[in-house]
Amino acid sequence: MTEKKGLHELYAKNPEQADDLMWGRKVKVVSRRGFMTGSGLAAMTAVLGASIPFARFMPGGLIPAALAQSEETFSIPGKSGLTILNDRPINAETPAHLLDDPVTPASRLFVRNNGIPPSTWDIDPLEWQITIEGEACERPQLMTLGDIQRRFKHHTLQLQIECGGNGRSEFNPPAKGNQWSTGAIGCPEWTGVRLRDILEECGIADNAVYVGYEAADSHLSGDPTKLPISRGVPVSKALENESMVVWAMNGEPLPELHGFPVRMLCAGWPASVSGKWLTRILVRDRVHDGAKMTGQSYRVPCKSVAPGTAVADQDMCIIESMPVKSLITFPKSGVEVSLGKTLQLRGHAWAGDSRVKSMTVSIDFGATWKKAKLKKPANRLAWQHWSAKVDFPEAGYYEIWARAEDDEGRAQPMVLPGWNPRGYLNNACHRLAVMVKA
């Protein structure tokens, strides 16, 4: 019996061999880059149901977006249309076309858990306790959420939050972990107080280096002595105006899966530093060494390595600001358009701690680019909305690629960035499949 393999599995093992198996051709190599030619091109157009006008620019080993994107969905309480990646713990992402809202609704925000969420349905949120302490905390205190709400000024900001592994499914060799595609990102409005105000109330010693958190979720093993995750950020990041302790999302109490009744939020960095179900804030005199802060968790090689390289722990560096990235949220991938009709595009772009400077789109696999309109962010560390219009020269299969550039001149790579063992920080251009009918 012939073993059946999924398309992603086939291409992950050997992209060039997959091209041969799928389309029955060898890749023509031009300037170290493979392009679609000959009978393979004919086979691919037969599967897609249309010619590919810019096939001469299409890289070998590239799965057409029309075939690469899945429609499998599931539902969990309070969510709509998310795709499940894991059920213990629950992890789910949002298809790109469902992230079209300028402010991400709770029902469309991705779910990323490392442990089992605590049961909070019957608690009084104002009595929830948070301890602020640590080697570099001058005046350790125990505060309730009610205390925090009464004592400190409230702020509401729209802030991006993205899993460090967003885009992991595209790496080759494959990396272990949830195989996120593009949907582990969102940008709701959050209400709370500045983390800085709490820290200054408790006193930040001169030897303070890091601010970490602990939370009420439990380890998957059931061992009460183990924490599923306990991460943090340098003091300088914790003191930013956008680093917060929040209790509301989009004007409503935090959903249970997003940290009810209270969480930490440090936007622009991997979402793992924004601890949910917050119970302790630790002002450390060293780099925080909690669960998933050491070893290879949320780290990448300090220097570039070849794909598949084993990297020693001491040669891995902690991920800080997330890279520049963008998403096409309208229309949905796979859309059909009549020849001669202008296609309206829109989406979001973000850049970790930085700001997006420009946004461009391509219909010819990156051979040429057209500038898109880019709006200013609602506030620092919010994503930015963009829009564009494209026309097609003839009928056939097209891909729209979106590319953002930040204010330091760093742009998204057209296909894949540098490989790393855990599959973090993939900021390759988002692709959209379009069929143009005569």
The CATH number for 130's domain is 3.90.420.10
| Beta-bridge partners for 399 | 433
Q: SS3 for 49?
A: coil
Same domain, 271 and 353: no
Lowest mean pLDDT among 166-175, 268-277, 349-358: 166-175
User: Cβ of 426: how many Cβ atoms within 10 Å?
Assistant: 26
Q: Which runs of E-coded beta strand occur in 145-194?
A: 155-158, 161-162, 185-186, 189-194
CA distance 189 to 127: 24
Residues 122 and 257 in one domain: yes
pLDDT digits (tens, 9 = 90+) for 122-163: 899 999 999 999 999 999 999 999 999 999 999 999 999 999
Q: Does 5 reside within a domain?
A: no
Would you state the structure tokens that stand for residue 65, as one six-digit string? Answer: 């977006």
Question: Which one, of 62, 58, 60, 92, lies nearest residue 76 by Cα?
Answer: 92
| Alpha-carbon gap, residue 326 to 372, rounded angstroms | 12
Tokens of 333: 């991938």
Residue 25 has pLDDT above 90, yes or no: no
Domain co-membership, 350 together with 310? no
User: Coil, helix or strand for 363?
Assistant: coil
Percentage of residues in the chain having pLDDT higher than 90: 76
Could you list the residue range(s) of the whole structural domain that residue 394 is in? Answer: 325-437
Q: Confirm whether 184 is domain-assigned.
A: yes
Scanning 172-275, the segments in alpha helix (DSSP H) are 195-202, 235-238
- Asked if the structure places residue 176 within a domain, the reply is yes
Q: Do 135 and 281 lie in a common domain?
A: yes
Q: Count how many domains the chain has.
A: 3
pLDDT of residue 77: 75
281-308 pLDDT, tens digit per residue, is 999 999 999 999 999 999 999 999 999 9
Q: Rounded to whole angstroms, how far apart are CA atoms 109 and 319? A: 22
Do residues 172 and 259 make contact, with C-beta atoms less than 8 angstroms apart? no
Q: Is 377 helix (H, G, I), strand (E, B) or coil?
A: coil
Whether residue 10 lies inside any domain: the answer is: no
Cis amide bond preceding 331, omega within 30: yes
Domain boundary among 266, 300, 318: 318
Per-residue pLDDT band for 4 (boundaries 50, 70, 90) equals very low
Tell me, yes or no, whether 218 and 331 share the same domain: no
**Residues 333 and 305 both lie in one domain:** no
- Round to whole Å and give the CA distance between 320 and 299: 9
Q: What is the sign, positive or negative, of the torsion defined by CA atoms of 364, 365, 369, 370?
A: positive
Mean pLDDT check: name the lowest of 24-33, 255-264, 311-320, 399-408: 24-33
Task: Determine the Cα–Cα distance for residues 1 and 26; give it in Å rounded to an integer.
Answer: 26
Mean of all residue pLDDT scores within the chain: 90
Q: Which residue has the tokens 């930015």?
A: 384
Residue 227 lies in a domain: yes
Which H or E run contains 66? helix 65-68
Write the CATH number for 352: 2.60.40.650
Same domain for 289 and 395: no
**210 vs 293: CA distance, rounded Å:** 12
Given a contact cutoff of 8 angstroms between Cβ atoms, the answer to whether 325 and 404 are in contact is yes
- The reply to whether 75 falls in a domain is no
- Shared-domain flag, residues 56 and 173: no
- The verdict on residue 209 lying in a domain is yes
Q: Where are the beta strands (DSSP E) in 146-297?
A: 155-158, 161-162, 185-186, 189-194, 210-215, 232-234, 243-249, 252-253, 263-266, 278-284
Q: What is the pLDDT of residue 5?
A: 42
Quick one: 143 and 188 in the same domain?
yes
Considering the domain architecture, whether residues 335 and 314 belong to the same structural domain is answered as no
Do residues 53 and 97 both lie within one domain? no
pLDDT, tens digit, 9 for 90 and up, residues 167-224: 999 998 999 899 999 999 999 999 999 999 999 999 999 999 999 999 999 999 889 9
Domain's final residue, options 13, 32, 62 = 62
Long-range CB contacts for residues 167-171, cutoff 8 Å, separation at least 24:
167/423, 167/425, 167/426, 167/427, 167/428, 168/422, 168/423, 168/424, 168/426, 169/8, 170/416, 170/426, 170/428, 171/416, 171/419, 171/420, 171/423, 171/426
Is 143 a domain residue? yes
Is residue 306 domain-shared with residue 351, that is, in the same domain? no
pLDDT tens across 60-107, in order? 777 778 766 654 444 577 888 888 888 778 899 999 999 999 999 999
Neighbours of 55 (CB within 10 A): 18
